[in-house]
Amino acid sequence: MDNNEDINPDSSAVPEQDSVVEAISNIDSDIVQEVSDENATSPVACRLSEVETSTESEEDFGERRGFVKFLCIVIGGIVSAVPFGAGIWAYLNPLTREKEGSGDGFVKITTLDAIPADGTPTKFSVISDKEDAWNKFKNISVGAIYLRKEDGKVKALHTVCPHLGCFIDYRSIKNDFFCPCHNSNFKLDGSIVSGVSPRPMDPLKIEIRNKVEVWVKFQNFQPGHDHPIPLS
Separation CA 143–CA 102 (nearest Å) = 20
Separation CA 97–CA 151 (nearest Å) = 37
Strands (E) in the chain, as ranges, are: 106-111, 122-131, 136-150, 153-158, 169-171, 176-179, 184-186, 192-194, 203-204, 206-209, 213-217
Q: Which of 132, 135, 134 is nearest to 85 (CA)?
A: 134
Q: What is the mean pLDDT of the chain?
A: 75
**137-141, 186-190, 206-210: least confidently modelled range:** 137-141
Percent of the chain exceeding pLDDT 70 equals: 58
Q: What is the CATH number that goes with domain 106-217? A: 2.102.10.10
- Residue 192's pLDDT band, with cuts at 50, 70 and 90, is very high
Cβ pair 19, 26 in contact under 8 A:
no
Q: Give yes or no for residue 69 having a pLDDT over 70.
A: yes
pTM for the complete prediction? 0.55
For the chain, the maximum distance between any two Cα atoms, rounded to a whole number of angstroms, is 179
CA atoms within 13 A on the CB side of 193: 14
